[in-house]
Amino acid sequence: MGCCAGKSKAEAEEDNRRKIVVVGDGGVGKTCLIRRYINGEFDEFTPQAYIPSSLETHTREMTVGNKKFVAIICDTGGQETFRHLRKTSYPNSDAVIVCFSLDNEESLKNIHNLWIPEMQKLCPRVPMILVGNKLDLREEAYKPDGFIKESKGLQAVKKHKMVTYLETSSLNDTNVDKVFETAMAEAAKRKKQNKKSFDDV
């Protein structure tokens, strides 16, 4: 095998990889968000709960400052109800995107009671970004009463010391790029896990 070829290149590439994991209740729009960002599309006319892709892990090149990075974006869709299986997606994460849906009170409740405590425990000190999905529904609603207000999201961010709160619409492509750019900017600040743990030993 050509193990010796391109050593330094491979090494440089490794250091530029950052893992971003996306969590939240089932049906809040995690997969749509990622799909919109990676493929730039939204499947309006295929009403599929399940979006076909065997690889739940995606990559995309990103630039932070002048430096190139590779974002490894890990989707946890489908694993929501299987607590002990979904944990396997978490190790070595550099940033976490925690999602809820603006039309779903329960999904915000679970942010406080389930997702944030779980991420704080299993990904300690990893920066978290809170995302309220399905903004288009709130904006187009005749009466926005039934929807979650922006202030609620901001409160949650403050309470749990998260990086920021963003409201998105995968349908209209609102703020989608910003979510991943913010996550990557935070992730980029982190040194690679390997080196860090090596220092700890």
Partner 1 sequence: MMEDELALWLAAEDGEDEMVMSQNGGLGSTPTAFMGKHQARANVVNEIIGAEREYVKHLCDVVEGYVKQAKKRPEMFPMEKVTVIFSNIEEIYEFARELLFQLELCVNKEQPHLSELGDCFLTHARGFEMYSDYCNNHPAACEELRELYRIKKYKHFFEACRLLQEMIEIPLEGFLLTPVQKICKYHLQLAELFKFTPTDHPDHPKVKAALEAMKKIATLINERKRKMESIEKLAAWQMLVDDWEGSDILEESSELIYSGELHKINHAGWSQERYFFLFDHQLIYCKKDLLKKSTFGYKGRIGMDSCQVVNIPDGRDSQYNVSVRNAWKLHDSHKDKWYLLVAKTAVAKQRWLKAFEEERNRVKDDTENNFNIPAHVKQAVITNLKQKTNLNKPKGKTRFSRTNSSSTLSSKNQVAAFATLPRKSRHKVKSDSTISQKINWFFLGKGKL
Q: Closest separation between CB of residue 85 and partner 1, Å?
A: 5
Residue ranges in contact with partner 1 by CB under 8 A = 1-7, 10-11, 13-14, 17, 19, 26-27, 29-32, 43-57, 59, 70, 72, 74-75, 77-79, 82-86, 88-89, 91-92, 101, 103, 134, 136-137, 171, 193-194, 197-198, 201
* Closer Cβ to partner 1, 35 or 162, answer by number: 35
* Closer Cβ to partner 1, 28 or 128, answer by number: 28
How many whole angstroms separate alpha carbon 116 and alpha carbon 181?
Answer: 21
Q: Closest separation between CB of residue 8 and partner 1, Å?
A: 10
Q: Closest separation between CB of residue 41 and partner 1, Å?
A: 13
* Closer Cβ to partner 1, 163 or 173, answer by number: 173
Q: Closest separation between CB of residue 80 and partner 1, Å?
A: 9
* Closer Cβ to partner 1, 71 or 116, answer by number: 71
Residue in 10, 3, 30 with CA at minimum distance from that of residue 179: 30
Q: Which residues contact 145 (CB under 8 A, 6 or more apart)?
A: none
DSSP per residue over 17-69, as a string? EEEEEEEESTTSSHHHHHHHHHHS---TT---SS---S--EEEEEEEETTEEE
Q: Which residues contact 8 (CB under 8 A, 6 or more apart)?
A: none
